[in-house]
Amino acid sequence: MSQPHLRTVVVLAAGEGKRMKSALPKVLHPLLGRTLLGHVLSAAAPLRADRTVVVVGHGADQVRAHLAEFAPEATPVLQERQLGTGHAVRIALDAVPEVTGTVVVINGDVPLLRPETVAALVEAHESAGAAATVLAAEVPDPTGLGRIVRDAEGRLEQIVEERDATPEQRGLREINAGIYAFDVARLREALGKLSTDNEQGEEYLTDVFGLLRDAGEPVAVHCAADHVETLGCNDRVELAALRQLLRDRVNEGWMRTGVSILDPHTTWIDVTVTVERDAVIDQNTQLQGATAVGAGALVGPDTTLVDTTVGAGASVVRSHAVGAEVGPQASVGPYAYLRPESRLARKAKVGTFVETKKATIGEGSKVPHLSYVGDATIGEHSNIGAATVFVNYDGVRKHHTTIGNHARTGADNMFVAPVRVGDGAYTAAGSVVVSDVPPGAMAVARGQQRNVEGWVLRKRAGTPAAEAAQRAREGASDEAPAAREGERIHERPETMGGPVNAGDTATE
Protein backbone atom coordinates (compact mmCIF):
# COMPACT_ATOMS: atom_id res chain seq x y z
CA MET A 1 0.00 0.00 0.00
CA SER A 2 1.39 3.41 -1.01
CA GLN A 3 2.22 5.93 1.66
CA PRO A 4 0.08 9.09 1.85
CA HIS A 5 1.63 12.28 0.53
CA LEU A 6 2.97 14.80 3.01
CA ARG A 7 1.34 18.17 2.44
CA THR A 8 1.89 21.74 3.59
CA VAL A 9 -0.47 24.65 2.96
CA VAL A 10 0.87 28.20 2.66
CA VAL A 11 -1.68 31.04 2.64
CA LEU A 12 -0.51 34.47 1.49
CA ALA A 13 -2.22 37.01 3.77
CA ALA A 14 0.33 39.79 4.22
CA GLY A 15 -1.04 42.40 1.82
CA GLU A 16 -2.51 45.67 3.00
CA GLY A 17 -5.33 45.85 0.48
CA LYS A 18 -5.05 49.61 0.04
CA ARG A 19 -8.10 49.83 -2.20
CA MET A 20 -10.28 48.48 0.60
CA LYS A 21 -9.62 51.79 2.39
CA SER A 22 -9.95 50.14 5.77
CA ALA A 23 -8.15 49.84 9.09
CA LEU A 24 -9.05 46.16 8.91
CA PRO A 25 -6.62 43.97 6.93
CA LYS A 26 -8.20 42.86 3.67
CA VAL A 27 -8.17 39.16 4.52
CA LEU A 28 -10.21 39.82 7.69
CA HIS A 29 -13.19 41.39 5.95
CA PRO A 30 -16.27 39.23 6.59
CA LEU A 31 -18.28 37.33 4.03
CA LEU A 32 -21.32 35.30 5.15
CA GLY A 33 -20.02 34.01 8.44
CA ARG A 34 -16.29 33.84 7.79
CA THR A 35 -13.49 36.19 6.91
CA LEU A 36 -11.88 36.01 3.49
CA LEU A 37 -8.98 34.20 5.16
CA GLY A 38 -11.39 31.90 7.00
CA HIS A 39 -12.99 30.83 3.72
CA VAL A 40 -9.59 30.03 2.21
CA LEU A 41 -8.50 28.00 5.24
CA SER A 42 -11.80 26.10 5.15
CA ALA A 43 -11.30 25.28 1.46
CA ALA A 44 -7.87 23.86 2.25
CA ALA A 45 -8.92 21.98 5.39
CA PRO A 46 -9.97 18.72 3.66
CA LEU A 47 -6.37 18.29 2.44
CA ARG A 48 -5.51 17.39 6.04
CA ALA A 49 -2.19 19.18 5.66
CA ASP A 50 0.60 18.31 8.05
CA ARG A 51 1.40 22.01 8.42
CA THR A 52 -0.50 25.20 7.61
CA VAL A 53 1.50 28.42 7.40
CA VAL A 54 -0.11 31.83 7.05
CA VAL A 55 2.14 34.65 5.90
CA VAL A 56 1.09 37.83 7.73
CA GLY A 57 2.23 41.41 7.30
CA HIS A 58 -0.13 44.36 7.33
CA GLY A 59 -2.21 44.22 10.51
CA ALA A 60 -0.22 41.19 11.62
CA ASP A 61 -1.46 41.30 15.21
CA GLN A 62 -5.09 41.34 14.07
CA VAL A 63 -4.54 38.43 11.71
CA ARG A 64 -2.70 36.45 14.39
CA ALA A 65 -5.58 37.02 16.82
CA HIS A 66 -8.04 35.78 14.22
CA LEU A 67 -5.95 32.69 13.54
CA ALA A 68 -5.75 31.92 17.27
CA GLU A 69 -9.54 31.80 17.33
CA PHE A 70 -10.40 30.31 13.94
CA ALA A 71 -7.40 28.12 13.09
CA PRO A 72 -5.15 27.70 16.15
CA GLU A 73 -3.24 24.92 14.42
CA ALA A 74 -1.98 27.35 11.75
CA THR A 75 1.48 28.92 12.06
CA PRO A 76 1.64 32.68 11.36
CA VAL A 77 4.91 33.85 9.78
CA LEU A 78 5.71 37.55 9.53
CA GLN A 79 6.73 39.16 6.24
CA GLU A 80 7.92 42.53 7.54
CA ARG A 81 8.45 44.01 4.09
CA GLN A 82 6.11 42.96 1.30
CA LEU A 83 8.67 42.15 -1.43
CA GLY A 84 6.48 39.89 -3.53
CA THR A 85 4.76 36.53 -3.50
CA GLY A 86 8.01 34.62 -4.10
CA HIS A 87 9.59 36.34 -1.13
CA ALA A 88 6.52 35.50 1.02
CA VAL A 89 6.67 31.80 0.14
CA ARG A 90 10.43 31.68 0.80
CA ILE A 91 9.86 33.15 4.29
CA ALA A 92 7.08 30.64 4.94
CA LEU A 93 9.25 27.66 3.96
CA ASP A 94 12.19 28.97 5.99
CA ALA A 95 9.89 28.78 9.05
CA VAL A 96 9.20 25.07 8.42
CA PRO A 97 12.46 23.65 7.09
CA GLU A 98 11.43 20.11 7.94
CA VAL A 99 8.49 19.87 5.52
CA THR A 100 8.60 17.55 2.51
CA GLY A 101 6.17 16.47 -0.18
CA THR A 102 3.63 18.86 -1.68
CA VAL A 103 3.29 22.55 -0.87
CA VAL A 104 -0.04 24.17 -1.75
CA VAL A 105 0.07 27.97 -2.01
CA ILE A 106 -3.19 29.95 -1.95
CA ASN A 107 -3.86 33.67 -2.03
CA GLY A 108 -5.82 34.77 1.04
CA ASP A 109 -8.57 36.61 -0.85
CA VAL A 110 -10.36 33.89 -2.86
CA PRO A 111 -13.37 33.09 -0.63
CA LEU A 112 -15.41 31.25 -3.27
CA LEU A 113 -12.79 28.54 -3.72
CA ARG A 114 -14.30 25.10 -3.18
CA PRO A 115 -12.53 22.31 -1.28
CA GLU A 116 -13.19 20.01 -4.24
CA THR A 117 -11.23 22.29 -6.55
CA VAL A 118 -8.23 22.44 -4.23
CA ALA A 119 -8.30 18.65 -3.85
CA ALA A 120 -8.50 18.18 -7.64
CA LEU A 121 -5.51 20.50 -8.17
CA VAL A 122 -3.40 18.57 -5.69
CA GLU A 123 -4.48 15.21 -7.06
CA ALA A 124 -3.60 16.25 -10.62
CA HIS A 125 -0.24 17.60 -9.46
CA GLU A 126 0.75 14.53 -7.49
CA SER A 127 -0.53 12.05 -10.07
CA ALA A 128 1.51 13.73 -12.81
CA GLY A 129 4.64 13.94 -10.67
CA ALA A 130 4.91 17.61 -11.64
CA ALA A 131 7.38 19.99 -10.09
CA ALA A 132 4.74 22.74 -10.12
CA THR A 133 1.08 23.02 -11.10
CA VAL A 134 -0.93 26.22 -11.40
CA LEU A 135 -4.71 26.50 -11.14
CA ALA A 136 -6.03 28.37 -14.17
CA ALA A 137 -9.44 29.57 -15.31
CA GLU A 138 -11.05 30.96 -18.45
CA VAL A 139 -12.61 34.32 -17.55
CA PRO A 140 -14.78 36.71 -19.57
CA ASP A 141 -12.65 39.70 -18.59
CA PRO A 142 -9.00 39.07 -17.64
CA THR A 143 -8.18 42.71 -16.88
CA GLY A 144 -5.72 43.04 -14.02
CA LEU A 145 -4.95 39.32 -13.83
CA GLY A 146 -1.85 37.28 -14.66
CA ARG A 147 -2.09 35.36 -17.93
CA ILE A 148 -1.29 31.72 -18.66
CA VAL A 149 0.96 31.58 -21.72
CA ARG A 150 1.16 28.22 -23.49
CA ASP A 151 3.52 26.97 -26.20
CA ALA A 152 2.49 25.56 -29.57
CA GLU A 153 1.82 22.14 -27.97
CA GLY A 154 -0.44 23.66 -25.33
CA ARG A 155 2.04 23.23 -22.52
CA LEU A 156 2.69 25.93 -19.94
CA GLU A 157 5.37 28.31 -21.14
CA GLN A 158 5.15 31.05 -18.54
CA ILE A 159 2.83 33.02 -16.28
CA VAL A 160 2.91 36.75 -17.04
CA GLU A 161 1.62 39.53 -14.80
CA GLU A 162 -0.55 41.96 -16.74
CA ARG A 163 1.74 44.92 -16.19
CA ASP A 164 4.61 42.91 -17.71
CA ALA A 165 2.57 41.34 -20.53
CA THR A 166 2.76 42.18 -24.23
CA PRO A 167 -0.39 43.41 -26.02
CA GLU A 168 -0.80 39.92 -27.52
CA GLN A 169 -0.52 38.26 -24.11
CA ARG A 170 -3.05 40.67 -22.62
CA GLY A 171 -5.57 39.33 -25.11
CA LEU A 172 -5.43 35.88 -23.47
CA ARG A 173 -8.41 34.94 -21.29
CA GLU A 174 -6.84 32.02 -19.46
CA ILE A 175 -5.67 33.47 -16.17
CA ASN A 176 -3.62 32.50 -13.15
CA ALA A 177 -5.96 31.91 -10.19
CA GLY A 178 -3.19 32.46 -7.63
CA ILE A 179 -3.39 28.88 -6.37
CA TYR A 180 -0.50 26.45 -6.85
CA ALA A 181 0.90 23.05 -5.94
CA PHE A 182 4.67 22.49 -5.80
CA ASP A 183 7.17 19.80 -4.99
CA VAL A 184 8.79 21.41 -1.98
CA ALA A 185 12.39 20.46 -2.77
CA ARG A 186 12.28 21.81 -6.31
CA LEU A 187 10.37 24.87 -5.12
CA ARG A 188 13.04 25.75 -2.56
CA GLU A 189 15.74 25.55 -5.20
CA ALA A 190 13.83 27.76 -7.65
CA LEU A 191 12.94 30.36 -5.01
CA GLY A 192 16.66 30.97 -4.48
CA LYS A 193 16.98 32.00 -8.13
CA LEU A 194 14.16 34.56 -8.30
CA SER A 195 14.93 37.99 -9.70
CA THR A 196 13.33 41.38 -9.04
CA ASP A 197 13.80 42.43 -12.68
CA ASN A 198 10.21 43.45 -13.31
CA GLU A 199 8.06 46.57 -13.19
CA GLN A 200 7.26 46.22 -9.48
CA GLY A 201 10.75 45.21 -8.40
CA GLU A 202 9.37 42.19 -6.54
CA GLU A 203 10.05 38.47 -6.39
CA TYR A 204 7.19 36.88 -8.35
CA LEU A 205 6.24 33.36 -7.34
CA THR A 206 4.98 32.86 -10.88
CA ASP A 207 8.56 33.17 -12.20
CA VAL A 208 9.24 29.79 -10.53
CA PHE A 209 7.34 28.11 -13.35
CA GLY A 210 9.65 29.55 -16.03
CA LEU A 211 12.73 28.62 -14.03
CA LEU A 212 11.55 25.06 -13.55
CA ARG A 213 10.58 24.70 -17.21
CA ASP A 214 13.96 25.99 -18.34
CA ALA A 215 15.59 23.44 -16.04
CA GLY A 216 13.64 20.65 -17.75
CA GLU A 217 11.32 20.08 -14.80
CA PRO A 218 7.69 19.13 -15.56
CA VAL A 219 5.20 21.97 -14.94
CA ALA A 220 1.46 21.72 -15.44
CA VAL A 221 -1.80 23.64 -15.63
CA HIS A 222 -5.02 22.48 -13.97
CA CYS A 223 -8.17 24.32 -15.06
CA ALA A 224 -10.96 25.11 -12.61
CA ALA A 225 -14.40 23.99 -13.73
CA ASP A 226 -15.93 27.34 -12.76
CA HIS A 227 -13.95 30.56 -13.01
CA VAL A 228 -16.16 32.17 -10.34
CA GLU A 229 -14.32 30.13 -7.69
CA THR A 230 -11.09 31.91 -8.52
CA LEU A 231 -12.37 35.45 -8.09
CA GLY A 232 -10.58 37.61 -5.55
CA CYS A 233 -11.34 41.13 -4.40
CA ASN A 234 -9.42 44.36 -4.20
CA ASP A 235 -12.07 46.80 -3.01
CA ARG A 236 -15.48 46.88 -1.34
CA VAL A 237 -17.34 46.85 -4.63
CA GLU A 238 -15.72 43.55 -5.56
CA LEU A 239 -16.28 42.25 -2.04
CA ALA A 240 -20.01 42.99 -2.36
CA ALA A 241 -20.09 41.15 -5.67
CA LEU A 242 -18.43 38.11 -4.08
CA ARG A 243 -20.92 38.25 -1.22
CA GLN A 244 -23.82 38.08 -3.66
CA LEU A 245 -22.26 35.17 -5.53
CA LEU A 246 -21.72 33.27 -2.30
CA ARG A 247 -25.27 34.07 -1.15
CA ASP A 248 -26.65 32.56 -4.35
CA ARG A 249 -24.48 29.46 -4.00
CA VAL A 250 -25.51 28.91 -0.38
CA ASN A 251 -29.21 29.48 -1.05
CA GLU A 252 -29.21 27.15 -4.04
CA GLY A 253 -27.54 24.48 -1.96
CA TRP A 254 -30.18 24.66 0.76
CA MET A 255 -33.08 24.70 -1.71
CA ARG A 256 -31.72 21.55 -3.34
CA THR A 257 -31.81 19.81 0.06
CA GLY A 258 -35.52 20.54 0.53
CA VAL A 259 -35.57 23.99 2.13
CA SER A 260 -38.00 26.61 0.78
CA ILE A 261 -36.43 30.04 0.33
CA LEU A 262 -39.20 32.32 -0.86
CA ASP A 263 -37.01 35.18 -2.04
CA PRO A 264 -33.38 34.10 -2.50
CA HIS A 265 -32.26 37.60 -3.44
CA THR A 266 -33.16 38.99 0.00
CA THR A 267 -32.17 35.94 2.05
CA TRP A 268 -28.64 35.84 3.47
CA ILE A 269 -27.49 32.63 5.14
CA ASP A 270 -24.02 32.30 6.63
CA VAL A 271 -21.97 29.28 5.59
CA THR A 272 -21.91 28.25 9.27
CA VAL A 273 -25.72 27.93 9.51
CA THR A 274 -27.69 24.67 9.30
CA VAL A 275 -31.25 24.37 7.99
CA GLU A 276 -33.31 21.18 7.98
CA ARG A 277 -35.70 19.88 5.38
CA ASP A 278 -39.08 21.57 4.83
CA ALA A 279 -38.08 24.70 6.70
CA VAL A 280 -39.44 27.87 5.08
CA ILE A 281 -37.27 30.99 4.95
CA ASP A 282 -39.29 34.07 4.02
CA GLN A 283 -37.97 37.27 2.45
CA ASN A 284 -35.60 39.79 4.05
CA THR A 285 -34.15 37.22 6.42
CA GLN A 286 -30.58 36.90 7.72
CA LEU A 287 -29.39 33.70 9.40
CA GLN A 288 -25.99 34.22 10.97
CA GLY A 289 -23.31 32.49 13.02
CA ALA A 290 -24.20 29.14 14.57
CA THR A 291 -27.92 29.46 13.87
CA ALA A 292 -29.78 26.18 13.30
CA VAL A 293 -33.31 25.96 11.89
CA GLY A 294 -35.31 22.78 12.44
CA ALA A 295 -37.48 20.81 10.06
CA GLY A 296 -40.72 22.52 9.06
CA ALA A 297 -39.92 25.74 10.88
CA LEU A 298 -40.91 29.13 9.49
CA VAL A 299 -38.44 32.00 9.73
CA GLY A 300 -39.25 35.45 8.40
CA PRO A 301 -40.12 37.67 6.78
CA ASP A 302 -37.91 40.52 8.06
CA THR A 303 -36.05 38.43 10.61
CA THR A 304 -32.45 38.26 11.82
CA LEU A 305 -31.22 35.28 13.83
CA VAL A 306 -27.70 35.18 15.25
CA ASP A 307 -26.40 32.03 16.98
CA THR A 308 -30.02 31.00 17.54
CA THR A 309 -31.66 27.57 17.49
CA VAL A 310 -35.18 27.24 16.08
CA GLY A 311 -36.93 23.95 16.78
CA ALA A 312 -38.97 21.85 14.39
CA GLY A 313 -42.29 23.41 13.45
CA ALA A 314 -41.57 26.68 15.25
CA SER A 315 -42.18 30.12 13.76
CA VAL A 316 -40.18 33.33 14.10
CA VAL A 317 -41.77 36.27 12.31
CA ARG A 318 -40.40 39.82 11.93
CA SER A 319 -38.12 39.41 14.92
CA HIS A 320 -34.50 39.63 16.04
CA ALA A 321 -32.78 36.99 18.15
CA VAL A 322 -29.23 36.59 19.43
CA GLY A 323 -28.02 33.51 21.29
CA ALA A 324 -31.57 32.26 21.86
CA GLU A 325 -33.34 28.88 21.78
CA VAL A 326 -36.83 28.60 20.28
CA GLY A 327 -38.33 25.22 21.06
CA PRO A 328 -40.38 22.96 18.78
CA GLN A 329 -43.72 24.49 17.73
CA ALA A 330 -42.97 27.65 19.68
CA SER A 331 -43.83 31.04 18.17
CA VAL A 332 -42.01 34.35 18.22
CA GLY A 333 -43.15 37.74 16.98
CA PRO A 334 -43.94 39.77 15.16
CA TYR A 335 -41.59 42.48 16.43
CA ALA A 336 -40.00 40.51 19.25
CA TYR A 337 -36.39 40.70 20.48
CA LEU A 338 -34.83 37.61 22.03
CA ARG A 339 -31.55 38.47 23.71
CA PRO A 340 -28.88 35.95 24.81
CA GLU A 341 -29.97 33.01 26.98
CA SER A 342 -33.62 33.37 26.09
CA ARG A 343 -35.09 29.87 25.99
CA LEU A 344 -38.58 28.99 24.83
CA ALA A 345 -39.82 25.47 25.49
CA ARG A 346 -42.18 23.53 23.26
CA LYS A 347 -45.25 25.55 22.17
CA ALA A 348 -44.19 28.60 24.17
CA LYS A 349 -45.04 32.01 22.79
CA VAL A 350 -43.28 35.39 22.77
CA GLY A 351 -45.52 37.86 20.99
CA THR A 352 -45.61 41.38 19.66
CA PHE A 353 -43.19 43.96 21.10
CA VAL A 354 -41.81 41.59 23.71
CA GLU A 355 -38.16 41.61 24.76
CA THR A 356 -36.59 38.73 26.66
CA LYS A 357 -33.13 38.30 28.18
CA LYS A 358 -31.75 35.34 30.13
CA ALA A 359 -35.30 34.06 30.44
CA THR A 360 -36.71 30.54 30.36
CA ILE A 361 -40.32 30.27 29.22
CA GLY A 362 -41.90 26.90 29.90
CA GLU A 363 -43.92 24.63 27.68
CA GLY A 364 -47.14 26.22 26.49
CA SER A 365 -46.54 29.46 28.38
CA LYS A 366 -47.23 32.83 26.73
CA VAL A 367 -45.86 36.34 26.88
CA PRO A 368 -48.21 37.73 24.25
CA HIS A 369 -47.44 41.43 24.00
CA LEU A 370 -45.74 44.63 25.14
CA SER A 371 -43.58 43.13 27.88
CA TYR A 372 -39.99 42.80 29.11
CA VAL A 373 -38.90 39.49 30.65
CA GLY A 374 -35.37 39.55 32.01
CA ASP A 375 -33.60 37.16 34.41
CA ALA A 376 -36.71 35.06 34.83
CA THR A 377 -38.09 31.55 34.83
CA ILE A 378 -41.70 31.06 33.75
CA GLY A 379 -43.19 27.63 34.33
CA GLU A 380 -45.51 25.64 32.09
CA HIS A 381 -48.84 26.85 30.70
CA SER A 382 -48.70 30.26 32.36
CA ASN A 383 -49.85 33.54 30.85
CA ILE A 384 -48.07 36.85 31.33
CA GLY A 385 -50.33 39.88 31.00
CA ALA A 386 -49.77 42.72 28.55
CA ALA A 387 -47.36 45.52 29.49
CA THR A 388 -45.58 43.45 32.15
CA VAL A 389 -42.05 44.30 33.25
CA PHE A 390 -39.76 41.98 35.15
CA VAL A 391 -37.80 44.51 37.20
CA ASN A 392 -34.51 42.64 37.42
CA TYR A 393 -31.88 45.34 38.10
CA ASP A 394 -31.43 47.27 41.32
CA GLY A 395 -28.71 49.50 39.91
CA VAL A 396 -25.92 47.21 41.12
CA ARG A 397 -26.96 43.59 40.62
CA LYS A 398 -29.39 41.54 38.56
CA HIS A 399 -32.04 39.49 40.41
CA HIS A 400 -34.25 36.60 39.36
CA THR A 401 -38.03 36.24 39.15
CA THR A 402 -39.85 32.91 39.07
CA ILE A 403 -43.41 32.43 37.83
CA GLY A 404 -44.89 28.99 38.53
CA ASN A 405 -46.97 26.63 36.40
CA HIS A 406 -50.49 27.56 35.29
CA ALA A 407 -50.13 31.08 36.71
CA ARG A 408 -52.05 34.09 35.35
CA THR A 409 -50.53 37.52 35.76
CA GLY A 410 -52.47 40.70 35.18
CA ALA A 411 -51.86 43.44 32.65
CA ASP A 412 -49.44 46.22 33.59
CA ASN A 413 -47.70 44.23 36.31
CA MET A 414 -44.26 44.96 37.71
CA PHE A 415 -42.41 42.01 39.26
CA VAL A 416 -39.66 43.50 41.43
CA ALA A 417 -37.01 40.79 41.71
CA PRO A 418 -36.22 38.70 43.59
CA VAL A 419 -39.80 37.49 43.78
CA ARG A 420 -41.68 34.23 43.25
CA VAL A 421 -45.25 33.66 42.05
CA GLY A 422 -46.50 30.19 42.95
CA ASP A 423 -48.24 27.58 40.82
CA GLY A 424 -51.78 28.47 39.89
CA ALA A 425 -51.52 31.97 41.36
CA TYR A 426 -53.07 35.13 39.91
CA THR A 427 -51.94 38.75 40.08
CA ALA A 428 -54.30 41.67 39.60
CA ALA A 429 -53.91 44.20 36.79
CA GLY A 430 -51.78 47.21 37.66
CA SER A 431 -50.00 45.47 40.53
CA VAL A 432 -46.42 46.07 41.61
CA VAL A 433 -45.48 42.70 43.08
CA VAL A 434 -42.65 42.93 45.59
CA SER A 435 -43.37 39.88 47.75
CA ASP A 436 -43.79 36.20 47.00
CA VAL A 437 -47.28 35.06 45.98
CA PRO A 438 -48.32 31.67 47.42
CA PRO A 439 -49.67 28.96 45.09
CA GLY A 440 -53.32 29.56 44.23
CA ALA A 441 -53.40 33.08 45.74
CA MET A 442 -54.52 36.33 44.11
CA ALA A 443 -52.02 39.16 44.61
CA VAL A 444 -53.38 42.71 44.50
CA ALA A 445 -50.81 45.43 44.94
CA ARG A 446 -52.31 48.79 43.94
CA GLY A 447 -54.05 51.78 45.40
CA GLN A 448 -57.85 51.94 45.71
CA GLN A 449 -59.59 53.92 42.96
CA ARG A 450 -61.11 57.28 43.92
CA ASN A 451 -63.37 59.28 41.56
CA VAL A 452 -63.44 63.10 42.00
CA GLU A 453 -66.93 63.98 40.75
CA GLY A 454 -67.32 67.11 38.59
CA TRP A 455 -63.56 67.77 38.31
CA VAL A 456 -63.60 68.33 34.52
CA LEU A 457 -66.55 70.74 34.65
CA ARG A 458 -64.78 72.78 37.32
CA LYS A 459 -61.18 72.63 36.14
CA ARG A 460 -61.59 72.36 32.35
CA ALA A 461 -64.72 74.42 31.75
CA GLY A 462 -65.33 75.29 28.09
CA THR A 463 -63.25 72.42 26.69
CA PRO A 464 -64.68 69.71 24.41
CA ALA A 465 -64.19 67.27 27.29
CA ALA A 466 -66.28 69.43 29.61
CA GLU A 467 -69.00 69.82 27.01
CA ALA A 468 -69.10 66.05 26.41
CA ALA A 469 -69.26 65.41 30.16
CA GLN A 470 -72.12 67.91 30.54
CA ARG A 471 -74.12 66.24 27.76
CA ALA A 472 -73.56 62.84 29.31
CA ARG A 473 -74.66 64.08 32.75
CA GLU A 474 -77.82 65.59 31.28
CA GLY A 475 -78.55 62.37 29.38
CA ALA A 476 -78.00 60.32 32.51
CA SER A 477 -80.46 62.54 34.41
CA ASP A 478 -83.11 61.91 31.78
CA GLU A 479 -82.58 58.14 31.88
CA ALA A 480 -82.19 57.78 35.64
CA PRO A 481 -85.85 56.98 36.42
CA ALA A 482 -85.88 54.13 33.91
CA ALA A 483 -82.76 52.74 35.43
CA ARG A 484 -84.24 52.92 38.90
CA GLU A 485 -87.37 51.20 37.76
CA GLY A 486 -85.97 48.30 35.70
CA GLU A 487 -82.19 48.03 36.07
CA ARG A 488 -79.86 46.91 38.82
CA ILE A 489 -76.72 49.05 39.20
CA HIS A 490 -73.58 46.78 39.07
CA GLU A 491 -71.02 47.34 41.78
CA ARG A 492 -67.60 45.66 41.50
CA PRO A 493 -66.57 43.77 44.62
CA GLU A 494 -63.76 45.32 46.60
CA THR A 495 -60.78 43.57 48.15
CA MET A 496 -57.55 44.84 49.56
CA GLY A 497 -56.28 47.58 47.27
CA GLY A 498 -59.27 47.86 44.94
CA PRO A 499 -61.71 45.97 42.74
CA VAL A 500 -60.75 42.59 41.31
CA ASN A 501 -62.45 40.47 38.64
CA ALA A 502 -61.53 38.28 35.70
CA GLY A 503 -60.54 41.32 33.69
CA ASP A 504 -57.49 41.77 35.89
CA THR A 505 -55.57 39.12 33.98
CA ALA A 506 -54.50 39.84 30.45
CA THR A 507 -56.15 38.35 27.41
CA GLU A 508 -54.18 35.62 25.68
Task: Please spell the DSSP secondary structure of 440-498, one letter per residue.
Answer: T-EE--SPPP---TTHHHHHSTTSHHHHHHHHHHHHHHHHHHHHHHH-PPP---EETTE
Q: Which residues pair with 360 in a beta bridge?
A: 343, 377
Other residues' Cβ atoms within 10 Å of the Cβ of residue 201 = 10
In whole angstroms, give the CA distance from residue 233 to residue 250.
19
Handedness of CA 80, 84, 87, 89 (dihedral sign): positive
| Tally: H helices and E strands in the chain | 10, 38
Q: Decide if 85 contacts 203 (C-beta within 8 A).
A: yes
In whole angstroms, give the CA distance from residue 276 to residue 299.
12
Q: Decide if 259 contacts 281 (C-beta within 8 A).
A: yes
Contacts of 213-219 with C-beta under 8 Å, sequence gap 24+, read 213/156, 213/157, 213/158, 215/190, 217/131, 217/132, 217/186, 218/128, 218/129, 218/130, 218/131, 219/130, 219/131, 219/132, 219/133, 219/134, 219/155, 219/156
Q: Decide if 158 contacts 50 (C-beta within 8 A).
A: no
The verdict on whether 265 is a catalytic residue reads: no
∠ CA 190-195-196, rounded to 5°? 140
The residue annotated as part of the active site, out of 39, 66, 227, 369, is: 369
Q: What is the DSSP letter of 499?
A: E
Q: Which residues contact 467 (CB under 8 A, 6 or more apart)?
A: none
In whole angstroms, give the CA distance from residue 328 to residue 325.
10
Which residue type sits at 428?
Answer: A
Active-site residue list: 369
